[in-house]
Every structure is written in C-alpha cells, then in structure tokens.
Structure 1
C-alpha cells in the first residue's frame, strides 16, 4: 500500500533525531506549557527513563527548565540556537568523517583522557 510522501519524509526525520533533539524539538514547539516527563516521552515515543536521563543532561546545559515534576524549554533562545548550531555542525562532521567514538574502548579512552579540572576559560557562575 502506498504512503503519502509527507508521511514518508516525516517518518525519516523522526528516526534521525536523538532523544535529546526530539525533546528539545517538542518543548520548543510546545513552549506555551510545561510538561511531565511521561507526557514528553509519550509525545516523542521514547522510553520515559531515557527521556529522564536526557532531560537531566539538557538541564545541566541550561537548555531546559525544571520545576517539581514539569519541564519546559529554556527562555534563553540565544543559548538554544548556539546548541542547535553546534549539534548540526557535529552531525555533519560525523556524517562526513564518521564518529569520533566508535566503540566502548574508544569511549573509555576518551573519558580517561579528560582533565580533572575544567578549562580556565570555563567560568562557573552558578
């Protein structure tokens, strides 16, 4: 049975999104409300535990806000645009040259090579 081309293209776009990208997209499109983790998970069709992990990471990057059981997109649109731009650039590099980390051993080596102290240019203003 044939599929409408719009549906075909939307399905392809959705499959390519990471959970973090799907969360940001959903919250940005629905920025008039704050949402529970389970509502976000249902809307983007992802596991609630995976959504919870990603929400915490996004919060650490100040890309989402959290109050009690609800989550919303950041008010800082400049920060959000920069994060999206960076993500798009990295995605393009991965597509062109392959991922930096290809397996668990690479991930472990990458993790172990990180400095113990933050870079001097990083200022903790929290």
Structure 2
C-alpha cells in the first residue's frame, strides 16, 4: 500500500488500526456498499477482525449495515469528528508515548478503579430512575 511522502520522509510507517483502514476504505468508496470479505481483502486484514471492527463502528454510528453489506454513514460530520479524535490520540501517543505501555500498567490502572460509582454516574442513575417513575405514573 503506498504511503504519503511525508510519512516516507519521517521514517517508519505508523501501524494503522483495522478500524482506521475500514473508515478510510469506505470513505474513499462512499458511493458503494461492500461485504465484510470485500473490505477485508481491500485492506488486507482478517475477515473476522474486520467483522468485529465493523460491529464496533456501527455501534458508534460510523457505518451502516444492511443484510451482508456495509457502507459509511451518511453523517460525514460524525466521521470527520472521529478522524480528528483519532489523529489527536495518535499525536499525543507520538509526543508522549502510549497512555498504557504494558500489561502490568494496564492491570495497575484496573486495580485502581474505585469500588463505588462516581457521583456523576450515581446522579444520572437516580435521575433516570426518577424519570422512569414519573413516566410510569403518567401512564396510569
């Protein structure tokens, strides 16, 4: 796969994620829909990996799915925002290193999780419970 001349000049090509490759492929071919296998072949990735990534991208509203075919969402501003976010994370990682650099560090972060919910999460759950109760009483 060709790379941009700036990437060539900078040295090693950064490894792009399967999700990034999928979005790039569908963006370049946004006038068509493709099967999982067609996408996997086009981006040279395992079809099962592509399938998992397509499901996650659909949950985030970045792709559409109908029967066996997948296409980019019609909401291109949503795609643009996701690309900006991805670029920002890549820049931060290049400048400061990965947020979590090892399995041990990941375990340390997981172990540091509080036993209780953050107050903002508790407030949201209480509000949704109040909203449900109000809705149920208005239904009767």
The structure that is helix-richer by fraction is 2
Match of 1:124 in 2: none
SS of the aligned residue for 1:55 comes to helix
For 1:7 and 1:101, how far apart are their aligned partners in 2? Answer: 30
For 1:9 and 1:106, how far apart are their aligned partners in 2? Answer: 34
Match of 2:97 in 1: 98
Match of 1:123 in 2: none
For 1:83 and 1:41, how far apart are their aligned partners in 2? Answer: 21
Structure with bigger RCO (C-alpha 8 Å, 6+ apart): 1
SS of the aligned residue for 1:100 comes to coil
Aligned length: 115
The TM-score normalised by the length of structure 1 is 0.76
For 2:54 and 2:123, how far apart are their aligned partners in 1? Answer: 25
Q: Does 1:67 align with 2:74?
A: no
Structure 1 residues 72 and 101 mapped into 2: Cα distance closer, same or farther (>3 Å)? same
Which ranges of structure 2 fall in alignment gaps of 5 or more residues? 125-140
The alpha-carbon deviation at position 56 of structure 1 amounts to: 1.1
Which ranges of structure 1 fall in alignment gaps of 5 or more residues? 1-5, 121-126
Which has more radius of gyration?
2
The alpha-carbon deviation at position 68 of structure 1 amounts to: 1.3
Structure 1 residues 111 and 56 mapped into 2: Cα distance closer, same or farther (>3 Å)? farther
Root-mean-square deviation (Å): 3.0
1:75-122 per-residue CA deviation (whole Å, 9 max, x = no partner) reads: 1111111100000000000000011111223334445638595995xx
For 2:80 and 2:123, how far apart are their aligned partners in 1? Answer: 23
Q: For structure 1, which segment, 97-106 or 14-23, has the greater mean C-alpha deviation from structure 2 after superposition? A: 14-23
